[in-house]
Chain A
């Protein structure tokens, strides 16, 4: 373990950290907004396609891509969790505790968001996109 990473590495580390904590949330938000928006608006316009792409394919993309992004965030959060497992908190200066807290939050919330996206995907398998 390097004790003093350079600023670039710290920035990358910081971004990875926030991806681990919030990646699933953002991916799910995108999934929901695009999935819902495309479905409701395409069906309201009476069309079963988004441009040249069939509606079901477009909707699958709004499920699969965010799901993959969430899996990535889950892996990042797991990494963060492991990196903070054996660090002894020396009380004052290095409160690793809060990183560990956020790592745990990241793992669990990414799992939750993954579940939501997958459940939406199951609905896509059984429901015709425009059935009311």
Chain B
């Protein structure tokens, strides 16, 4: 285990004081509401997404309890239907993506050697919007008006005629609202990674996690509009009587499914991709070597993010479209397995050629490999139309996507939590607690979801609030329910571990694991300005590379300190050549005000207070105008020339 300390800052005492003055934030309510610091925002993302995870998890426990026995009466069908819809919607939209955006927010600037994201105020806006849209959706549950149509909300069941009430209005408006946050966050990640990399970090030196986040950003940019168009049409159909999905007036119900899955399948990778990036980030520290086959892993990330746009119809294999058109998608769905296979074997090779240090993050990575491979294998089966038609919409598919999403996203997230806890909080976690948590989560997960493959094959459809004993599914369901409690207990232990670390943990050194990326080259937790001296990167593993580390130490070129003002360096997109220093914005109330105005807008739309909605829209416009109003300055571009 490496115990290297952060390099001695190459900045003078005076520089440090000036950096502290420009970037430092004193704890206060005002600072809490106005901060634009990517680390604070990232932490909030993590905590808030964790809360939504708990809510969605408790919904799942309630459902599993109901299904423990046949014909149980604990939940009414209406309650069950709202719970499974909120479970899915929350896990996908309010937990998985925001959680990974939280990791991205904390880590991307640290890993690329920057002082913040490209658009820090937009970043703050993204968080507030995410928080408010999540509250917007969950606030409907106490009123019995929560979405109740499954997370993919197929029409015509979700239209006004078949589903009166506010349920699906909450869904469509909530997701449109949340879309603002996801889009803003994605653009921010892309631009940050393209323009704010430390000098010398050409594309072949970009950490895999950053590649993954950028690929995710691009997927969001091109996938989310389909969902937004879909939801806008649904809302118009429901509220204003348009006929996009009404077959009796020239509409088509399959249009919803096409648009939904054009978003929906890339979304699976939007969730899994950054999580795989976490795996690639965790492995080098615990195998004492870089990920084997870096170019191939990059290839996998790039090609998955592209191919994922061409597999959506495999969610519609049972809708009775021409078999030939299925086959085009079947081919893509089959081949998308290959880049995933490349990544798996790259990690395996890394472990086989490295020296394993079996700490909790690596345990979770191992759990991830076992689980994700199983999920991937069943996933490849779904690419075959004939087989898909047999098991889709059964518990087999429920088993499959929980293996993919828990295996492919939750395990890496947990690995990431243990891995970066010292960096984020400055405290070490308790190893024993972590091990217990791992084994409970791992065992609980498999006991819960493995049997679902079986009773899915045995004919149990998904989304049923109860079942008859005569169908012969009872025993398996009971096993699943027992497993779900074990899983919940394990996750509770993770929470206990985090709280324990924050309260009682040993102070963490800057680099407790001997990591290879720049985030381990600075303090734990990092100073508000991240790096006293911005690094000059000379290899793929800057923290393992003498010259890169020395570039942050004494004798550094003074133009990488940039202590007069909130400034960081801008570089070229491909080669990472230095271009100029850029000014970063100060903390501001504008993001919060803008998000509140949007919340008002969407709430007013939901409740049909249209004049209020118009007022809120005007407030949005005015806030934006003020936000972007050019400061009066002498006629020079902000910052200095490189």
Contact = CB atoms under 8 A, between A and B. Distances in A.
Query: Touch between A and B in complex, CB under 8 Å?
Result: yes
Interface in B526-561: 538
A98 interface: yes
Nearest to A62: B328
B313 A97 contact: no
A116 interface: yes
A109 B328 contact: no
Given A95-B204, A101-B203, A104-B299, A120 B323 contact: no
Interface string B555-588: 0000000000000000000111000000000000
A80 B328 CA distance: 30
Contacts of B307: 28, 112-113, 116
Contacts of B313: 36
Query: Which range contains the number of A residues in contact with the other chain?
Result: 35 or more
A97 B325 contact: no
A73 interface: no
B295 A39 contact: no
A124 interface: yes
Interface in A94-132: 95, 97-98, 100-102, 104-105, 108-109, 112-113, 115-117, 119-120, 123-124, 127-132
Contacts of B299: 104-105, 108-109
Interface string A6-43: 00000000000000000001001101100110011001
Contacts of A100: 204
Interface residues of B, number: 36
Contacts of B302: 105, 109
Interface stretch (B263-271, B334-342, B367-375): B334-342
Given A32-B332, A91-B538, A129-B322, A120 B298 contact: no
Contacts of A132: 320-323
B338 A95 contact: no
Nearest to A26: B306
Interface string B325-352: 1011111101100110000000000000
B303 A95 contact: no
B303 A40 contact: no
A5 B628 CA distance: 41
Contact of B574 (A29, A98, A124): A98
A116 B335 contact: yes
Q: Which residue of B303, B328, B330, B338 has the most chain A CB atoms within 10 A of its CB atom?
A: B328
Contacts of A35: 325, 328
Nearest to A28: B310
A109 B303 contact: yes
Contacts of A129: 322, 324
Contact of B303 (A31, A36, A101, A108): A108
Interface of A: 25, 28-29, 31-32, 35-36, 39-40, 43, 59, 91-92, 95, 97-98, 100-102, 104-105, 108-109, 112-113, 115-117, 119-120, 123-124, 127-132
8 contacts: A29-B309, A32-B310, A35-B325, A43-B325, A59-B324, A100-B204, A101-B203, A108-B303
User: What 8 A-B pairs are tightest by C-beta distance, nearest first?
Assistant: A123-B327, A119-B331, A98-B203, A95-B202, A39-B325, A101-B204, A97-B204, A98-B202
Given A40-B325, A95-B576, 6 more contacts: A29-B306, A39-B325, A98-B205, A105-B299, A116-B310, A127-B327
